[in-house]
Amino acid sequence: MKYYYLIATLPDLSLEIETANINFDEIVETIERNLTNEDKQIFKYLIYPHDNRNLLNAIFKKHHGIVPLPFQRPAVFSPVIIEDYVQERYNFPDYMADFLMTFQERFSEMEMVETETHLVESFIREVSQVPEAFIKDYYFFEKHLKSMVAAFNRSLYNFHGSVSVLEETEISEKLANEGSGMSVLSQTYPFIVSLREAIHSKKPWLIEQTVDQIKWEFIDHYNKEFFSNRHVYGYVLKLFILQRRDLLEQADTKTHFERLNKQVGAFRELI
């Protein structure tokens, strides 16, 4: 399916664009409305990470008394359905329903990071079965990228805890040896040197910008056919990158990150 008219009507995106005039919800609704039924099913996998976050917020609020973050949109499921996740689980996608059926009796005793890990694992397993190669490859690329960031952080802050089950052990082991390991990985991931430099700068906003740039370039490299459904999917992923940045800027998160970073640095000097 070619989406000539749809793509022609969408605003151009770049990492330097001013987001104040972008109506994120309206653009996503327009895209979804113009997709074929088959492409709409694939499209949902771009939205499910928001539903995952909303579900975790509901679980943490109920079982750990955590004040939830604002409801993340766009979302496939409404706040009412998410809040009533026990009764609504049969309306959820298979990975989410299986996660709830397996772990909901243990949520109170599980640490929050463990709960999140199991949900993300379930999502990744289901994504691996999605027929659209771009969707699979993007989420696995994102998983590898997170593994690299975690490995660099462990090395930088001299933290030798166990490797998360969501990380690629092979990548972590190679990055443990920053000489030959970096050289081997740079053949597959040419951005790895700039990522390391950003993390070693200890500037959270620079790290965010670098990670966004890496994701953006992956999307551009993968999508060469301009009017294809893959181009539409890539456009939505770019839109979410800009939306997240917009939310961080609205909350003045840059200043908050920098303040926390200084506090952590001062604490490490004391110990």
pLDDT in tens, 114-166: 999 999 999 999 999 999 999 999 999 999 898 888 888 877 777 655 545 45
Same domain? For 175 and 216 the reply is: yes
Residue 11 placed within a domain: no
More confident of the two residues 1 and 127: 127
Same domain? For 119 and 159 the reply is: no
Gap between the Cα atoms of 269 and 250, Å rounded: 32
Same domain? For 210 and 261 the reply is: yes
Residue 54 placed within a domain: yes
**pLDDT at residue 195, rounded to an integer:** 93
**Domain boundary at 131, 161, 178, which?**
131
Q: What distance lies between CA 263 and its chain's CA centroid?
A: 26
More confident of the two residues 35 and 161: 35
**Domain boundary at 131, 148, 179, which?**
131
Contact call for residues 188 and 195 (beta carbons, < 8 A): no
This prediction has a pTM of 0.85
Same domain? For 115 and 243 the reply is: no
Contact call for residues 93 and 126 (beta carbons, < 8 A): yes
Residue 33 placed within a domain: no
Same domain? For 123 and 137 the reply is: no
Mean pLDDT of the 228-240 span? 96
More confident of the two residues 87 and 161: 87
Same domain? For 144 and 262 the reply is: yes
Q: Is residue 210 over pLDDT 90? A: yes
**pLDDT at residue 248, rounded to an integer:** 80
**pLDDT at residue 47, rounded to an integer:** 97
Range of the domain at 127: 47-131
Positive or negative, the Cα torsion across 53, 56, 61, 64?
negative
Number of domains within the chain: 2
Mean pLDDT of the 265-269 span? 45
